[in-house]
Amino acid sequence: MAPTTSRRTLLKQFGMAGAALSIADLPGWVLPALAQSETLVPFTDIPATFNPVPNATNRTLDIRKIDGALTPRDQFFAIQHYGQPTDAELSGHKLKVTGLVNKPMSLTVDDLRKMRPTEVVAGFECSGNSPRSMEGLSSNGKWTGVPLKTVLEQAGLKPLAREIVFFGADHGSEEIEWRTQKFTLEQNFGRSLTRERAMAAEPLLAYAMNGEPLTKHQGAPLRLLVPGWYGVSNVKWLNHIHVQDEAFLGRFQARWYRTLRGEMIDGEMMWKETSVAEMHVKSVIARVTFDGKAHKVHGFVLGNGTPVKSVEVKVDEGPWQPATLDPVTAKDKYSWKLFTYNWTGATPGPHTLVSRATDMNGVVQPTAADLETKKSFLEDNSQFPRKLTIA
């Protein structure tokens, strides 16, 4: 079966969407689509309090529902710090380009639609995604838009332009402390990219996902997409690009989205604070199914676009065993990569399953213990051991 064909679509076509399943262990969860003979083996590590509430402003993906490469738009995870902007704030939307440019601009999404479109399949996760959120602050979409570079070239960056700042229509009151002074000021959500990064081929001004206009959750009518980077760079409800010389030090650039970690340099521990940027390679076991004979482990890998060399699965204290990468997503640079592992000879009783990914540069997904010197919780790409019980 082509990995891009949704199993749900197939089930619908054959009128089998209502296959009988035991829902006893899944309070508050929508059931994933399964082939008629398959059952879902419930994880025993999902806290009773964990509930993704699919229609709230914030959304967590139920990763057990992943049944194809693209996350449907009503399931795509959603996070924002100031809530969604109001419809009034979005009406008459324009993208302004101001600052160190030869030609300041004001573009409608229709203006952008008239430019040559690009498509990219790109998955991302919030840098706060971790086992605590059952790794559900992650999704994968096919994005359509105009390369950021095209618009910046039309505006013409002046020689002094070094920092490109992106603002959303959403805003909030920020307390800014400076030594003994405190200010409360209204600010829009803002993130920046260096000139070099902004002028690279990948960043996209996206107006559609999975072939349909963005929904409000995804930042309609326009968002920035920086393939290979953590979610925070993908500014939603984008309405203003400001070009400047100095580094942008707004809250979501310079304060909230930083990671503090210790690094041994020349025999001494150095404490580094870095800005959240490219994703670190991570694999996650998303679901386990049973077809009456064998168990199958399904999962995904996210990363910065470096090809994935291998994914391995370990059962209890056994050896690492190779999993199979889905060949289509594996070749799609910024897509998440799907993998499966055939778990044969599962014995009755409780088990722990864990996966780890290794990229072509030899970077191996760390264990939680390996990340001990990472003090702040963002950018947690640790291996996620999953627990279940075989009947």
Ligand X SMILES: Nc1nc2c(c(=O)[nH]1)N[C@H]1C(S)=C(S)[C@@H](COP(=O)(O)O)O[C@H]1N2
Contact between 279 and Mo ion by CB under 5 A: the answer reads no
- State how far the Cα of 318 lies from the Cα of 304, in Å rounded to an integer: 30
78 to 117: interface string for ligand X, x by CB under 6 A: xxxxx-----------------------------------
Find the Cα–Cα–Cα–Cα dihedral 277, 279, 280, 282, rounded to 10°. Answer: 160
Measured from the CB of residue 190, what is the shortest distance to ligand X in angstroms? 8
Contact 243, 293 (CB under 8 A): no
Residue nearest to Mo ion (CB): 126
74 to 103: interface string for Mo ion, x by CB under 5 A: -----x------------------------
Phi, psi for 219 (deg, rounded to 5): 105, 20
Q: Which stretch binds ligand X (CB under 6 A): 24-32, 39-47, 77-85, 142-150?
A: 77-85
Contact between 277 and Mo ion by CB under 5 A: the answer reads no
Q: By CB under 6 A, how many residues form the interface with ligand X?
A: 18
Measured from the CB of residue 384, what is the shortest distance to ligand X in angstroms? 18
Contact between 241 and Mo ion by CB under 5 A: the answer reads no
Report what 168 binds from ligand X, Mo ion, none; CB cut-off 5-8 Å by kind. ligand X
133's CB contacts (< 8 A; 6+ apart) are 60
Task: Fill in the amino acid letter for 206.
Answer: A
Write out the binding residues for ligand X, residues 170-229 only, by CB under 6 A: 170, 189, 218
Measured from the CB of residue 388, what is the shortest distance to ligand X in angstroms? 28
Q: Choose which of 34, 78, 112, 126 interacts with Mo ion (CB under 5 A).
A: 126
Report what 218 binds from ligand X, Mo ion, none; CB cut-off 5-8 Å by kind. ligand X
Q: Choose which of 126, 161, 243, 311 interacts with ligand X (CB under 6 A).
A: 126
Which of 32, 12, 36 shows the shortest CA–CA distance to 23?
32
Q: Which residue is associated with the tokens 């019980």?
A: 389
Q: By CB under 5 A, how many residues form the interface with Mo ion?
A: 4
Contact 233, 193 (CB under 8 A): yes
Walk across the sheet containing 95-99 and list its strands. 105-107, 95-99, 238-244, 163-178, 181-194
C-alpha torsion sign, points 83, 88, 90, 96: negative
Report what 142 binds from ligand X, Mo ion, none; CB cut-off 5-8 Å by kind. none
189 vs 334, which CB is nearer to ligand X? 189
Contact 35, 7 (CB under 8 A): yes
Measured from the CB of residue 196, what is the shortest distance to ligand X in angstroms? 21
Contact between 235 and ligand X by CB under 6 A: the answer reads yes
Q: What's the residue count for the chain?
A: 391
**Farthest-apart Cα atoms in the chain, separation:** 69
Measured from the CB of residue 276, what is the shortest distance to Mo ion in angstroms? 8
Contact 190, 167 (CB under 8 A): yes
Q: Choose which of 136, 231, 299, 303 interacts with Mo ion (CB under 5 A).
A: 231
- State how far the Cα of 360 lies from the Cα of 351, in Å rounded to an integer: 30
Report what 259 binds from Mo ion, ligand X, none; CB cut-off 5-8 Å by kind. none
DSSP state of 128: T
39 vs 80, which CB is nearer to Mo ion? 80
Q: Choose which of 32, 99, 147, 168 interacts with ligand X (CB under 6 A).
A: 168
Find the Cα–Cα–Cα–Cα dihedral 50, 53, 56, 59, rounded to 10°. Answer: 60
Measured from the CB of residue 170, what is the shortest distance to ligand X in angstroms? 5
126 vs 198, which CB is nearer to Mo ion? 126
- State how far the Cα of 59 lies from the Cα of 135, in Å rounded to an integer: 12
The footprint of ligand X (CB under 6 A) covers: 76-82, 126, 168, 170, 189, 218, 231-232, 234-237
